[in-house]
Chains A and B, each alone.
Chain A
Amino acid sequence: NAGVTQTPKFQVLKTGQSMTLQCAQDMNHEYMSWYRQDPGMGLRLIHYSVGAGITDQGEVPNGYNVSRSTTEDFPLRLLSAAPSQTSVYFCASSFTGMNTEAFFGQGTRLTVV
């Protein structure tokens, strides 16, 4: 089973460039989310979605956009990359409701120079 698939695994961008990180899940999960992971900061929520057509901001949304046109896909767009966005990005999905397990992708390591 594929689970949560993120692409690309690695990316280097120049300051000001834009790009889209892809995330797809095949578990029919309603809830999907994007996190960034920085040393000593744990996982911080960027954006999340409770279902197709519905998105909301998390803890650190500035500089990022998301959309959820299908249940399976939840892309994250960097509008104008900045060095402060250098990080490892994780996409996760789960069923909605309480006490549900979050399944994570393998991550995208992004460097902005």
Chain B
Amino acid sequence: TQLLEQSPQFLSIQEGENLTVYCNSSSVFSSLQWYRQEPGEGPVLLVTVVTGGEVKKLKRLTFQFGDARKDSSLHITAAQTGDTGLYLCAGEEETSGSRLTFGEGTQLTVNP
């Protein structure tokens, strides 16, 4: 059973548009991480959110952790073709130590 559900699974937009990707769970996580993966490569960490309600910004990317620490969102402003990739959320449960549970991923394509 997948503990983390991401939506949408696929997203194709034009350059300059805004988008939001969601990561939802019924479980409480001590932290939630967002990774980006390019074809032929392993995922690379973008950000870790730890506190309920926390908002972190990375240039045009805004990450939010839900108040109850069960969900998170990634918002991209004015998407660029270089944002194309697979975005994965991963949750760390309080009792699991370093063990991560990944969502299914959102494949983002930004068209010129």
Contacts and interface: CB of A to CB of B under 8 A. Distances in A.
Interface string A60-98: 000000000000000000000000000000101011111
Given A42-B2, A99-B30, A99-B92, A105 B42 contact: yes
Contact of B42 (A4, A41, A44, A50): A4
B40 interface: yes
B92 A48 contact: no
A21 to B, nearest CB: 14
Contacts of A42: 2, 4, 6, 88, 102-105
B98 A100 contact: yes
Interface string A38-70: 001111110010100000001000000000000
Interface residues of A, number: 28
Contact of B41 (A40, A50, A101, A106): A106
Given A43-B88, A45-B99, A101 B42 contact: no
A59 B62 CA distance: 31
Contacts, number: 70
A34 interface: no
Contacts of A95: 98
A105 B99 CA distance: 17
B97 interface: yes
A92 B33 CA distance: 15
25 contacts: A31-B98, A33-B100, A40-B9, A42-B4, A42-B105, A43-B43, A43-B102, A44-B102, A45-B99, A45-B100, A50-B97, A58-B99, A95-B98, A96-B97, A96-B98, A98-B97, A99-B30, A101-B48, A102-B90, A102-B98, A102-B100, A104-B43, A104-B44, A106-B42, A107-B42
Interface of B: 2, 4, 6, 9, 30-31, 33, 35, 40-45, 48, 50, 88, 90, 92, 97-105
